[in-house]
Structure 1
């Protein structure tokens, strides 16, 4: 059956607030790294956690256009934070991998973010933080799955077919 419209609207309020706080933290330079734009840092982080992969896989997972990923890949490669090599299965495609410098940059960013959250949630205990992390993780997995596989893409194809 799922949650009611009203319950989902209640969830949107803290999610909007959380995104707003992320913007404030970015503007204050809390989530930035030297020689790397913030958006590219997000892509690098994704690459470190996913491991070697194609740019198209990153674009799909991040739900962005391939041109966005291409520009960020260029920035990261120029900074020496990623490398590319031909995909043995399809030599026309490159596989991307974080360099040791890229891995260190992500580790430092993640440390700073965790420290920031830890200071903000100093009165919470570990169990409460783990519970929140689990619930947010489940929600994001379901929302991503719905957005990529079920709802948005299916709705787009219906709209496109209806306009032919």
Structure 2
């Protein structure tokens, strides 16, 4: 059955506040990444965690247009943080991988963010932080799945209408 609308409305408030805090941190340079714009750094982090993959996979996972990913990948490549190689299965497509410097950059940034969170959540214990991480992870998995299901249904309806 799922939660009612009022309960989900209660969830929206802290999510909006969290997103607003992220924007403030970005504006103040709190989460700047050495050698890469913030948005491109998010893509670099995704690539480090996912491993070698195609740009289309990154765009799909980040839920952004391929043109956005293409521009950001160009910035990361120019900064020496990623490399490209032809995909052996389809040489028209490139496989992307973080360079060792890209991996070090992400590790430094993840450490800074973890330190920032540790300071901000100084009154929390490890178990509470783990519970929050587990719940947020589960919620994001379900939200992503729902989004992808809706997108697939919508895409299917559009294709059916063009026949």
Alignment of 1:97 with 2:89, yes or no, is no
Alignment match, 2:133: 133
Task: Quote the offset at 1:163 in angstroms.
Answer: 8.3
Residue aligned with 1:60, SS: helix
RMSD: 1.5
Alignment match, 2:114: 114
Deviates more, 1:24-33 or 1:127-136: 24-33
- Assess, with a 3 A threshold, how the Cα gap between structure 1 residues 54 and 159 changes in structure 2: closer, same or farther: closer
Alignment match, 1:68: 68
- Assess, with a 3 A threshold, how the Cα gap between structure 1 residues 158 and 72 changes in structure 2: closer, same or farther: same
Q: Return the alpha-carbon distance in structure 2 between the equivalents of residues 32 and 4 of structure 1.
A: 38
Q: Return the alpha-carbon distance in structure 2 between the equivalents of residues 157 and 147 of structure 1.
A: 14
Q: Return the alpha-carbon distance in structure 2 between the equivalents of residues 49 and 135 of structure 1.
A: 20
Alignment of 1:83 with 2:83, yes or no, is yes
Alignment match, 1:144: 144
Task: Quote the offset at 1:42 in angstroms.
Answer: 0.2
Deviation readout 1:18-46 (Å, 9 max, x if unpaired)? 01111111111111123211000000000
Residue aligned with 2:92, SS: strand
Q: Return the alpha-carbon distance in structure 1 between the equivalents of residues 10 and 24 of structure 2.
A: 22
Structure 2: which 5+ runs fail to align? none
Decide whether the 8 Å contact of 1:30 with 1:112 is kept in 2: no
Q: Return the alpha-carbon distance in structure 2 between the equivalents of residues 35 and 84 of structure 1.
A: 18
Q: How many residues align?
A: 163
Structure 1 length-normalised TM: 0.94
Task: Quote the offset at 1:156 in angstroms.
Answer: 4.9
Residue aligned with 1:22, SS: helix
Structure 1: which 5+ runs fail to align? none
